[in-house]
Structure 1
């Protein structure tokens, strides 16, 4: 999960993975998801071409992008009001798959960006996803998220 400039380290991760895939084409690589968000598609979509190329090559298997301000400022916007505005909304829309990757495929989640709002919102969203998808209460969901942290499978690089 890397909205805004928080996407930068993911570009490095994905470029490394792309090189590994080239060096070892027979190896099985798991799914790679990136949840990216910015204010405006035309002004703030950092690394757009790179990300599209990574999807085309199969290095990045799922790219979920949202724009928080495009449909607010443009009354004739194509995006319906139900279009996700923030990365946590895209996480919720993909909650079954997020849960599957984290808990059944033993995957990891990395969050990079603003500590004040985004990181807190992502944490709360993950708790809600765990509650709903694993059918547990709030406390148990928080424990499961803490376990991911302890196992270094929920990592954050946050600032602000």
Structure 2
């Protein structure tokens, strides 16, 4: 039986917001109880502690509410090959990061980015529709169309 010794941590920085990937190794915890991970900008992203055998505490500074959130993660979840654990803000519900196999974490990040892009696009479309005017006949016309209609008259 193979025992997983590495996992991937993808975290947003609470200071600059940048998403970075960090490889975590079981061996990084041998002989120590705490591991601090920093962003490339120098800000603290997460403190990982082992309190009891097989239990990991993730102290995560939150991007949105600016509190420090504590997530307790069993080692069997952390080092599994098929599961991703989400670190989130319990007050707002926004995801702060993911821990799990690199391929699954990357897939979830890609899905999140696709979802966010679709939400941004929907918001822009809604905003554009809100800014539309109405023609004399009651039909909606966009500003660009209205100006081109005036030129034709």
TM-score range, shorter chain: under 0.3
Structure index of larger Rg: 2
TM-score, scaled relative to structure 2: 0.28
Q: Which has the higher strand share?
A: 2
Q: Which has the higher helix share?
A: 1
